[in-house]
Amino acid sequence: MTQEELRFDGETYDPDRDRERLSRQLYAVLDVMKDGIWRTLPDLANATQSPEASVSARLRDLRKPRFGSHTVERQYLRKGLFQYRLILNEEVA
């Protein structure tokens, strides 16, 4: 995927303002998660230097067909804390 191919959306999304930042976050999350290791949102936020809400949104993006239709598994740990693991869609990886 090139940055030009990435198509984000949402009510407040402005391509001129947001595309580069969201693309950078998406690639950072993908790069960290492609090893298939379980990580919490705080772990992922620290690794990508992005807010937890942003990395959570990027994980949701990775499930969408236009971002690869990857599988993002979620597992409960404790007290509202979950961990996530990415399974790459081999057809696009």
Per-residue pLDDT tens over the stretch 16-64? 999 999 999 999 999 999 999 999 999 999 999 999 999 999 999 999 9
Distance (Å, rounded) from C-alpha 47 to C-alpha 70? 20
Residue at token pair 């992922």: 44
The reported pTM is 0.90
Which run of H or of E encompasses 19? helix 15-33
User: Residue 7: what pLDDT?
Assistant: 86
The structure tokens listed for 7 are 């198509």
Reading the block at residue 24, the tokens are 């950078």
pLDDT for the residue 6:
82
Per-residue model confidence (pLDDT) at position 93: 61
Domains identified in the chain and CATH numbers? 15-87 (1.10.10.10)
Structural contact between residues 23 and 15, judged by C-beta atoms closer than 8 angstroms: no
